[in-house]
Structure 1
């Protein structure tokens, strides 16, 4: 049996989705970063009337992540990607290897994905940036003061996420989670992103937080600087309904 991942993906598309409008192989395999244990990320476009869903299967011994969408479902999920500022499905269609393209459907989906990627994610609202500045300021204070090594590592993760999010927003760039966080961060700002990542690595290896604090503080300065006293946020209508729901007789 041929175990080449691209050939495996083609066989799966033929066997499982013979009527698909488009099938694309994405992820690490399409990007040339696959290892022997890499799974296959496969996007499948089907006719409206079918079921938009995600499913994990095993095919010829390899784990496969299926992202199946109708035309309407694909448009909706592209919009979800944009709103979340994460270009997961958009990137799959923009950069995936086309395995099936019925009447140009893959090309049209790719063009739509590329247009969204060029436009970029929506900017965070000023109030949201303020709240995240406050959160990063607080986390940096905790990181500076943390004496316990385990607590320091936990807080460093919060600092990494918060600083990366603010830096990507500053550059109108897509964000990422997991292994995509460093990739998106370096795409957004190679110099400051690398300083933050290397500071985090140095902290994890040595316990010394100074380099990470310096890198995150520089990012914080880009978006208005530290925020402590003067920060105030209200949530109208949230506490009252919750209290009413908990009242006796409810």
Structure 2
């Protein structure tokens, strides 16, 4: 069976399953030109008749399809929560989405999404940066000291997540998860993203830790470097 092209399939799906909706957009990898053999269709639907939002995965017209269905107010909660987490999945889908149906609402919702994306995530406080430095240092020490390969692999994974978060948040950039980690790093700085990937790739292939240690120190240096001695979380209160 030959699948219809993504936009045709998505439009047919909306017409069949949500004929009375006020708007719908097709987003995801098929829109960005990054589709693979396993890519699905991400469709955001706006329907004023809904009492609450929902997400559903199914197969139709030869495509795996994920739908994100909202009324004309519920999407704002997800905009807000995604931005609070600094991973703007829903705003990004709406912003990049190709219009499948529109009764005159999509442009204003896109403008809301674009405004949030342009603003960037909330800046970390000085206290948060200190705390993040400490926990990165703690994981780095475990990584340097570990002699057990199985443990090193998962310590490295934790370290990569903490470093990408630190780099992106301290520089006012949105984060990502899974494949979006590398994409988010490239949006910030392509050269750094390449160094980051190469450092971890070399470790996973050869066990060499040097490049990872170097990149961690490079990231922490502008904020005071590694931090352990003197860290305090909470208040020291003594009864005498």
Please tell me the TM-score bracket, short chain as reference. over 0.9
Shift of 1:48: 5.7
Q: Does 1:20 align with 2:21?
A: yes
Stretches of structure 1 lacking an aligned partner (at least 5 in a row): 237-250
Q: How does 1:110-121 map to 2 (within 5 A)?
A: 110-121=110-121
Shift of 1:235: 7.4
Q: 2-side partners of 1:159 and 1:128: how far apart? A: 17
- Secondary structure at the counterpart of residue 26 of structure 2: strand
Q: How does 1:118-133 map to 2 (within 5 A)?
A: 118-133=118-133
TM-score for both structures, normalised by structure 1: 0.89
Partner of 2:98: 97
Q: 2-side partners of 1:48 and 1:173: how far apart? A: 36
Partner of 1:204: 204
Stretches of structure 2 lacking an aligned partner (at least 5 in a row): none
Q: 1:223 to 1:197 in 2, by over 3 A?
A: farther
**Contact 1:166 1:223 (8 Å CA) reproduced:** no
**Contact 1:163 1:220 (8 Å CA) reproduced:** no
Q: 2-side partners of 1:112 and 1:211: how far apart? A: 41
C-alpha distance after superposition, 1:19-40 (max 9, x if no partner): 1111111111111111232111
Q: 2-side partners of 1:117 and 1:4: how far apart? A: 29
Q: 2-side partners of 1:82 and 1:235: how far apart? A: 30
Partner of 1:7: 8
Runs of at least 4 residues off by over 3 Å: none
Q: How does 1:133-172 map to 2 (within 5 A)?
A: 133-172=133-172
Partner of 1:187: 187
Shift of 1:2: 4.6
C-alpha distance after superposition, 1:210-245 (max 9, x if no partner): 111111211111333111010010279xxxxxxxxx
**Contact 2:3 2:61 (8 Å CA) reproduced:** no
- Secondary structure at the counterpart of residue 67 of structure 1: strand
TM-score for both structures, normalised by structure 2: 0.93
Q: 1:2 to 1:152 in 2, by over 3 A?
A: closer
C-alpha distance after superposition, 1:49-73 (max 9, x if no partner): 4321111111134221111111211
Shift of 1:199: 0.4
Q: 2-side partners of 1:188 and 1:93: how far apart? A: 21
Number of equivalences = 235
Shift of 1:142: 1.3
